[in-house]
Structure 1
Amino acid sequence: MTQTPDFGRRLIVTVDAKGYGSSDELTQHQIQEAIPVLLTAAAERVGLDRGTWHVSTTGDGEMAVLPTTVEEPRLLDLYVPEVAYVLRRHNHNRTEAGRLRLRMVIHHGSAVSSPTAGYSGNGIVTAARVVDSDALRDVLSGSGADLVVAVTAPVHQDVVAQGHTRLRPEDFVLTTVRNKEYEEPVWVHVPGHHPRRPGAFGGGATALSPTTSGAGPAPSPAPEAERSARPGEPGAGPERRDSPAVTNVMHGNVDASNAVFGVRH
């Protein structure tokens, strides 16, 4: 007798490694070995038991369905920073080609369990589409970071925007993910990079817009008259110095028709 799959809404965390497909077989094998070791180490350091997670490996990453006892704030506040830390330690003194760099997605959605087929459902599809999207790939490439994290609308709206995590809405940038039939907004966070600092996400930042949830408008550029040209640029003068304040007080009539006033310091 065929059993009816059990419907539920669960936290789903998926990760994917940059450059796996273009790597040689030895490097691919090293990536496959390193990912579960590093993620397990990060989870253990913050008191999470990955043994209770339903983890499916994808070769260059994994898809994990978490038990209902794990909540989003714990992932965002503890697990994500620890993953960034273990990646930084792993990549220390490695060449650029040897670095392990990950894209991560945190989603809360439908996950239908089956005794024989594991998990399926729209939530699983959503997490897979986002982690494999060009938008997330661009941010990882442009930022130069070891880790980028995307949260979907349910996580952002219910957790980040409501203040249930140490991360603020302005720690994320809003972008649209388009991947096959999936087209939805997601919010991207790069640990150690502030999205409001110009160039924080490198070239990938040009495709992103600041999130509007709780974030104020971006500062307006200074008027042209208030900007000073950099040395070597057209219109650049001598290097700017802090000039002393000089006040001349004249009493009576002064004939200054041929005078030259100046201050030297």
Structure 2
Amino acid sequence: MYTTIIATDIVGYARQARTEDLQSVLRARAYQQLAAAFAMTQIPWDQCQTEDRGDGALIIVPATVDCDYCLDPLVHHLAVALRRYNRHASEATRLRLRLAIHFGHVQRDSRGVSGHAATHLFRLIEASAFKRALRNVGTDLGVLISDQLHNEAIQRGGMFNPSAYQPIRVSIKETRCTAWLWLAPRA
């Protein structure tokens, strides 16, 4: 299946101050904010396939949803949802997310999805340059999109604003590529 795939990761999930009970709260809040952002964007959350990853998730968007719709307005709606939640959160319960977004062919089996696109997606979410960029700014949401998706969104036009993204080099395991970073404005 050829579709958009999204990986999420809760920033600082395993910090020593975050007990297992607090981690459970953060996981629940992350899923709530994601579902809210998908609803605002009118992407059917209940039709997405999600695979839990402990401190994050893999989201396979229905193939009927245009890939650029997962950039704008989805990431902007998620930034708003996180800002709204964090306005009332303590430092311990503050929720910060990293998202990586890519698209391509994935294969389904009884355990989930696999394929080169999924592997590339997880290289993006784990890229040290991405983690460093988000840590240095301290915003609630950082998004890293693949070069392939960036180029596709530019060609499609639509609401995507390529000047809002900056290129960063990704070098992790066998992957060496350029990806495109968007950081949500600080509240």
Give me the TM-score of the superposition, normalised by structure 1. 0.66
Whether contact under 8 Å (1:52, 1:67) holds in the other structure is yes
2:185 is equivalent to residue 192 of structure 1 = yes
Structure 1 runs (4+) deviating above 4 angstroms are none
Secondary structure class of the residue paired with 2:14: coil
Consecutive unaligned residues in structure 2, runs of 5 or more: none
Cα distance in 2, alignment partners of residues 110 and 151 from structure 1: 16
Consecutive unaligned residues in structure 1, runs of 5 or more: 1-7, 194-265
Secondary structure class of the residue paired with 2:33: helix
Paired amino acid for 1:182 = T
Whether contact under 8 Å (1:152, 1:186) holds in the other structure is yes
Whether contact under 8 Å (1:110, 1:121) holds in the other structure is yes
Query: Which is richer in strand?
Result: 2
Give 1 or 2 for the bigger CA radius of gyration.
Answer: 1
Higher RCO structure, 1 or 2 (CA under 8 Å, sep 6+): 2
Please give the per-residue CA displacement for 1:100-123, whole angstroms capped at 9, x wherever unaligned: 000001101220112x12211111
Paired residue for 1:177?
170
Whether contact under 8 Å (1:17, 1:60) holds in the other structure is yes
Please give the per-residue CA displacement for 1:216-235, whole angstroms capped at 9, x wherever unaligned: xxxxxxxxxxxxxxxxxxxx
Cα distance in 1, alignment partners of residues 67 and 33 from structure 2: 20
Paired amino acid for 1:97 = A
Paired amino acid for 2:91 = E
Cα distance in 2, alignment partners of residues 139 and 42 from structure 1: 23
Paired residue for 1:127?
121
Please report how far the alpha carbon of residue 163 of structure 1 lies from its aligned counterpart in structure 2 after TM superposition: 5.6
Secondary structure class of the residue paired with 2:35: helix
Cα distance in 2, alignment partners of residues 142 and 185 from structure 1: 20
1:137 to 118, 131, 134: 131
1:18 to 11, 26, 30: 11
Q: Count the aligned residue pairs.
A: 184
Paired amino acid for 2:59 = A
Give me the TM-score of the superposition, normalised by structure 2. 0.92
Q: CA RMSD in A?
A: 1.5
